[in-house]
A and B are shown apart, each in its own frame.
Chain A
Amino acid sequence: MKRILNYTLVIIILLASCREDDDTIDKEIPPASRSPTPYALELPPHFNYINSPIIPVDNSLTLEGVALGKKLFFERMLSRDNSISCASCHAPLEAFNDQGMVKSIGVGGTLSIRNAMPLFNLAWGSVTSRRFNWHGSVTTLEQQALGPVRDPLEMQETWINVASKLQGANDYPRLFKRAFGTNIIDSNLVVKAIAQFERTLISGDSKFDRYFLETQEGINTPGDNSLTSAESRGFDIFMAEGTGDCFHCHGTPFQILWTTNEFVNNGLDANPDSGLAWITKNPLDVGKFKTPSLRNLAFTAPYMHDGRFATLDEVVEFYNSGINVNSPNIDGRQKPRNLTTQQKTDLIAFLNTLNDSSFITNPAFRP
């Protein structure tokens, strides 16, 4: 996949590079209509252990596009009464989540049916399923961003209204012109810009990342990042099929994202919500939800698609003793773990090494 992506890039650039005299033409065009500047994602070094991010060919990242996307992400005009923005439910300090909210709150206090998802490392989408939202209802970030605006439980606005509000605001037409070469604003360009910004949200600087860089790559990182004995025992429990067995769904150190992004039923309910089957209509997908990343859990409580668990203790106790083994389509890897109290504490200590505080405080992600 990576190779294919690189080759397409090569081909595109080859084509471009064989044209003549681009420069001379460029000079005659006034600066405002110059083509936007390409934006190179800055990846933490160990992210080269996994496939390159998936960037759609028709929406490559540009400085102007990302900056516009950020502005739109924090833009309250996207909602019916100009009261909320994407960031109202996806706040930077909470790893782009709404910590503490079991179900998200939309315009006028309406309650969503699901717990908001944190937003980071979305550029990797998913290899196995390439789907977004808990039940996998959309396949691209562009498509995803269309949803919240017109969702009757979220921003409750029409795209026609959003476009005309933005068109009338004094700075947006100019910014769209810079990013996309046109000052006619429509939903398609709004979601493209937002998706560009979302793809820059990269989280890879937790304690465990630093520990991995030092031990695996020999790269020095700031501070003492050796694991405590509890964290290290917790890691072993996470990785052991006989005890925690978390890695089969939530990934390994080499997998970096700490999720396989697979849709599975982890056995929360005896009669689960339809989950992925809501989209695929396949009875074998009933109860399957997107496996979330375990990065940044300290900032994203409560947990699971309906926010049913307030703490990591509750989550771990669920895996320990609360699994509904007779849930339809439950994953073969799910059965009660029977951990000791010490093992549970150790496991949580390890999970907390995946919190990335430099991600939540990154000024590049602020309005």
Chain B
Amino acid sequence: MKNFKYNKILFSALVILILSFSSCKDDDDDTISPVTVTEEYTATINLTQYVDGVVLQMNTAGHPYENALIQQFNVTKLQYLISDVTFTKDDGTKIVDGGYHYVTLEDSSTLQYTLNTKIPEGTYTSIGFTFGFDEEDNVSGAYIDLNTLGWNWPVMLGGGYHFLRLEGDYLDNTNTSAEFKTHMGTASDDSTMPRTNEINHFDVTLPNSKILISSDFSFDIEMNIEEWYTNPIDWDFNVWNAPVMPISAAQKALNSNGSSVFNFKQ
């Protein structure tokens, strides 16, 4: 294995070297020319989670929540991914932040997402984002932080990354507590040989998200967990508990139900 010579550390050392040369220059070429600029502001998103209008409580005793089929459940794990947050003006122009953000309720620092892109002042008719990664971004192995977390979606199911992991316990039809693991990503159909894989992200336009931006600002993207399980498709935990990753119909149901999951709040 002598071709293991490629070396990230050496590469960064090179970058550092180049940077350090430029940083020691004198500063007298920084002449200031007056130009009119549109002010740009920092957007901070708070990611919040509710069940039936009440803040989600994780790892509760018992099964405090109910889906549309009156099946009781609790939540023990919630992780999800959003990307391409987009601000749309009334003339149709869009400001898109091409980044992505992974949320896990186990780490409260992930509940806030500050966009790298600064947003020019003005009035925007709506704010939106992609749930998961769109086709262009959902590339197996492309994101080192997500790889490190093991957030990959199996290549044999179409690859890319998980979009959602929502797990907990529900009371099954014999009134026994059983586990569910609602994992979402590429929809992969095994009724064909080879499997057919369909992209499964969805674009959200947050309802009533018109916003006037004239300073640094923040807003909430609320996830309403019960909506994953209804509207239009009532999700039956007895049928779709786990595994659901290889079940194309379940994946597509999450996609259609997903459109009513998110709300905007400022």
Partner-B contacts on A (CB < 8 A) = 1-2, 6, 9-10, 13-14, 17-18, 40-45, 47-52, 124, 127-128, 205, 210, 216, 219-222, 236, 239-242, 245, 247-249, 251-256, 260, 284, 332-333, 335, 358
Q: Which of A1, A42, A256 is the one whose CB lies under 8 Å from B4?
A: A42
- Contact (Cβ within 8 A) A1 B145: yes
The docked-state distance in angstroms from the alpha carbon of A248 to that of B185 is 14
Residues in B neighbouring A41, C-beta threshold 8 A: 9
Most chain A CB within 10 A, of B1, B152, B167, B246, is at B1
- Contact (Cβ within 8 A) A241 B8: no
Residues in B neighbouring A52, C-beta threshold 8 A: 8
Residues in A neighbouring B144, C-beta threshold 8 A: 2, 48-51
- Contact (Cβ within 8 A) A10 B4: no
A-B pairs under 8 A by CB, number: 129
Residues in B neighbouring A124, C-beta threshold 8 A: 148
The docked-state distance in angstroms from the alpha carbon of A330 to that of B5 is 43
The docked-state distance in angstroms from the alpha carbon of A335 to that of B169 is 13
The docked-state distance in angstroms from the alpha carbon of A239 to that of B152 is 10
Residues in B neighbouring A236, C-beta threshold 8 A: 156
Q: Which of B3, B12, B152, B246 is the one whose CB lies under 8 Å from A9?
A: B12
Partner-A contacts on B (CB < 8 A) = 1, 3-10, 12-13, 15-17, 19-20, 23-24, 59, 76-77, 106, 140-141, 144-145, 147-150, 152, 154-156, 167-169, 179-181, 183, 242-246
Q: Which of A10, A44, A252 is the one whose CB lies under 8 Å from B152?
A: A252
- Contact (Cβ within 8 A) B147 A255: yes
The docked-state distance in angstroms from the alpha carbon of A157 to that of B45 is 53
Shortest C-beta distance, A65 to chain B (Å), equals 16
- Contact (Cβ within 8 A) A252 B154: yes
Residues in A neighbouring B154, C-beta threshold 8 A: 239-241, 247, 252
Nearest-neighbor residue (CB-CB) of A333 within chain B: B181
- Contact (Cβ within 8 A) B16 A358: no
29 sample A-B contacts, Cβ–Cβ < 8 Å, listed by A number: A1-B145, A2-B145, A9-B16, A14-B16, A17-B23, A41-B9, A43-B8, A48-B8, A50-B148, A124-B148, A205-B4, A221-B3, A222-B1, A236-B156, A239-B156, A240-B246, A241-B154, A241-B183, A241-B243, A241-B244, A242-B243, A252-B152, A252-B154, A255-B147, A255-B148, A255-B152, A256-B147, A332-B168, A333-B181
The docked-state distance in angstroms from the alpha carbon of A272 to that of B121 is 57
Further 7 A-B residue pairs, CB within 8 A, beyond A14-B16, A45-B3, A242-B243: A10-B19, A17-B24, A40-B7, A40-B9, A221-B3, A332-B76, A333-B167
Residues in B neighbouring A127, C-beta threshold 8 A: 145, 148-149
- Contact (Cβ within 8 A) B19 A14: yes
Nearest-neighbor residue (CB-CB) of A40 within chain B: B9
The docked-state distance in angstroms from the alpha carbon of A13 to that of B76 is 44
Shortest C-beta distance, A295 to chain B (Å), equals 14
Residues in B neighbouring A18, C-beta threshold 8 A: 20, 23-24
Shortest Cβ-Cβ A-B pairs, 8 listed: A241-B243, A17-B20, A254-B141, A50-B148, A241-B245, A260-B150, A332-B167, A254-B147
Shortest C-beta distance, B150 to chain A (Å), equals 4
- Contact (Cβ within 8 A) B150 A251: yes
Shortest C-beta distance, A197 to chain B (Å), equals 17
Q: Which of B9, B106, B148, B150 is the one whose CB lies under 8 Å from A247?
A: B150
Residues in A neighbouring B76, C-beta threshold 8 A: 332
The docked-state distance in angstroms from the alpha carbon of A245 to that of B144 is 22
The docked-state distance in angstroms from the alpha carbon of A1 to that of B109 is 13
Most chain A CB within 10 A, of B76, B141, B245, is at B141
- Contact (Cβ within 8 A) A216 B141: yes
Residues in B neighbouring A245, C-beta threshold 8 A: 243
Residues in A neighbouring B1, C-beta threshold 8 A: 44, 205, 210, 221-222, 358
Residues in B neighbouring A242, C-beta threshold 8 A: 243, 245-246
